[in-house]
Amino acid sequence: MMPEKTQSKTIRTRFAPSPTGYIHIGNVRSALFPWLLARQQNGKFILRIEDTDQARFVEGATELVINTLGWLGIAWDEGPDIGGDFGPYTQTERKDHYLKWAQKLIDKGLAYADPYTVDEVEAFRTEAKNNKKAFLYRDYRPENPPTWDGTKPLRFKVPEIKRYSWHDEVMGDLSAGPEALDDFILIKSDGLPTYNFAHIVDDAEMDITHIIRGLEYIPSIPKYLSLYEALELQPPIMACLPHILAPDGKKKLGKRDGAKSVDEYRTEGILPEALINFLASLGWNDGTEQEIFTVDELIEKFSLNRVQRSGARFDEQRLSWMNGQWIRKLTIDDLFERVRNFWPESAEQASDEFKKQVLVLVQDRLKTLAELPLLTSYFFTEPTPDWQMINDNKQLSKLSRDEIISLLKTAQSALLASEYDAESLQATLNTLLETTGQKPGILFSLIRFAISWAPFSPALNDTISIIGSTKVQARLQLAIDTGLKEQTE
């Protein structure tokens, strides 16, 4: 075991997106995991905006990130919108910080101006490629570089070419040979730092203890290690997360493969609890057979060393199942709040009380909140009779039209005389089975069609009860009328 050197130190984790668009689903785990860790250990979670690439900057992207994390319930303790003791939290506002650290390297003779043009470097690269060699800038390191005046890129001068070994909390012990080391750019010719330099400065100044990011950074880590040494900094604990893979492939799930934004799942009626649960269990489990975890349970049980090292496919069916589980866990009042924007238009006039009654019936049937209109429209608007549904029904198609009309009439009068609570209605329906001598498969199916004209619906007595006597009578009458009319045509 490693000595517990950071035992008493408050852990500080961060999520550091670049504002280039929405947060897509393959990406959000690198916000979730550091957040869980910070909450678990009473640490701090920091949001930092890495906007040093002006070409890719998208207006409004920071707000999008803030909005998405807010919906998920991932809250930060320090960030661009709320400030903190280690600000600013937007990289373009920290230029002087990077310059200060760059000067330190220049003074030590570990940074120099890159005298070549972009085309010249590109030519070196092509040459290396033609020789089937990996391109290393340090092979072309200039003898007497000019003094850096800020108009040329500033490059790091690797002090020592050697093999690096390090520990990754997820991937285990890693190492890489000298080929991984190179004179990379610290400050671009536009005066802004590269990610490679900026994140090291920021993490050090912001006292970050754990860097959690995607595994695309693994090949660069030896470079970072050599820079930490040159800067005389202690590297934070590192963890690289495997990628989430596209459902139908083995490639990283990215925007190009149609990776959805987190917001899309929101509008599809996925609960944030379900999305977090799903994302966390994609590549992590606590070693038990538990599948459903609350956020509090995740905070309590999460650990980086139980995160899977291989990528995992994004399985929407599993997410859908998990969402259903979470919908069923909600109280009706809570569910009612969540579905506020998902009702069919026809429900606009309905009372909250009526809507809640409907909700009770469909709660077990919802996989996503967006399915609500599909499942409930006939509670709010009069359905159009479609006798084809009856004709297509295996059992009902055996009866003559006269028999069907007669059954409907019998049902209509029996229901007219019934009390309208669900229990009494069940009694009425049972009696009706006896008096007509019909099987439930015939009688109940028929009544169900006549009052809903939907391919499926909740239990018959419940459905009838909620629709109410007046409307049930009218719908049965309409069914009878249209049935007779169709017969004569």
Give whichever of 162 and 485 is closer to RNA, judged by the CB atom.
Answer: 162
Closest distance of CB 314 from RNA, Å: 8
Residue from 41, 426, 436, 477 in contact with RNA (CB under 7 A): 426
Give whichever of 10 and 419 is closer to RNA, judged by the CB atom.
Answer: 419
Give whichever of 174 and 330 is closer to RNA, judged by the CB atom.
Answer: 174
Binding status of residue 256 toward RNA by CB under 7 A? no
Binding status of residue 311 toward RNA by CB under 7 A? yes
- Catalytically annotated residue among 255, 260, 329, 471: 255
Closest distance of CB 50 from RNA, Å: 3
Closest distance of CB 162 from RNA, Å: 12
Residue from 99, 174, 330, 405 in contact with RNA (CB under 7 A): 174
Do residues 336 and 356 make contact, with C-beta atoms less than 8 angstroms apart? yes
**Contacts with RNA in 10-49 (CB under 7 A)?**
16, 18
**Distance (Å, rounded) from C-alpha 427 to C-alpha 429?**
5
Residue from 70, 73, 150, 177 in contact with RNA (CB under 7 A): 177
At residue 200, φ and ψ (nearest 5 deg) are -70, -45
**Contacts with RNA in 314-333 (CB under 7 A)?**
315, 317-318, 320-321, 324-325, 328
Site string for RNA, 62-101 (x = CB under 7 A): ----------------------------------------
DSSP-derived pairing of the beta strands 44-47 and 12-15: parallel
**Distance (Å, rounded) from C-alpha 61 to C-alpha 88?**
18
Closest distance of CB 489 from RNA, Å: 27
Give whichever of 41 and 325 is closer to RNA, judged by the CB atom.
Answer: 325
Structure tokens at 27: 């990406």
Binding status of residue 172 toward RNA by CB under 7 A? yes
Residue from 304, 359, 429, 466 in contact with RNA (CB under 7 A): 429
User: In terms of Cα–Cα distance, which of 430, 434, 426, 432 is closest to 462?
Assistant: 426
**Contacts with RNA in 400-419 (CB under 7 A)?**
none
Residues paired with residue 239 on neighbouring β-strands, in sequence order: 212
Residue from 139, 216, 333, 334 in contact with RNA (CB under 7 A): 216
Binding status of residue 132 toward RNA by CB under 7 A? yes
Measured between alpha carbons, how far is residue 458 from residues 96, 112, 464, 467 in Å? 65, 74, 10, 12
Binding status of residue 273 toward RNA by CB under 7 A? no
Q: Which amino acid is at 152?
A: K
Do residues 73 and 295 make contact, with C-beta atoms less than 8 angstroms apart? yes
Closest distance of CB 73 from RNA, Å: 22
User: In terms of Cα–Cα distance, which of 332, 386, 321 is closest to 359?
Assistant: 332
Contact segment (CB under 7 A) with RNA among 76-84, 172-180, 337-345, 349-357 equals 172-180
Residue from 11, 176, 200, 476 in contact with RNA (CB under 7 A): 176
Residue 219 DSSP class: G
Residue from 300, 333, 345, 364 in contact with RNA (CB under 7 A): 364
∠420-421-422 over CA atoms, to 5°? 115
- Which residue's structure tokens are 């930490």? 228
Torsion sign across C-alpha atoms 81, 86, 87, 89: negative
| Number of residues forming the site for RNA (CB under 7 A) | 85
Q: Judge if the upstream peptide bond of residue 193 is cis by omega within 30 degrees of 0.
A: no
Task: Report the residue count for the chain.
Answer: 489
User: In terms of Cα–Cα distance, which of 338, 176, 212, 227 is closest to 273?
Assistant: 338
Do residues 13 and 210 make contact, with C-beta atoms less than 8 angstroms apart? yes
In angstroms and rounded to an integer, the radius of gyration of the C-alpha atoms of the chain is: 32
Site string for RNA, 443-482 (x = CB under 7 A): -xx--x------xxxxxx----------------------
Closest distance of CB 488 from RNA, Å: 28
Binding status of residue 386 toward RNA by CB under 7 A? no
Give whichever of 9 and 162 is closer to RNA, judged by the CB atom.
Answer: 162
Do residues 274 and 323 make contact, with C-beta atoms less than 8 angstroms apart? yes
The helix/strand/coil state of 473 is helix
The helix/strand/coil state of 436 is helix
Residue 290 DSSP class: -
Binding status of residue 370 toward RNA by CB under 7 A? no
Contact segment (CB under 7 A) with RNA among 82-90, 126-134, 267-275, 294-302 equals 126-134
Task: Clarify whether 129 is annotated catalytic.
Answer: no
Q: Which residues are catalytic?
A: 255
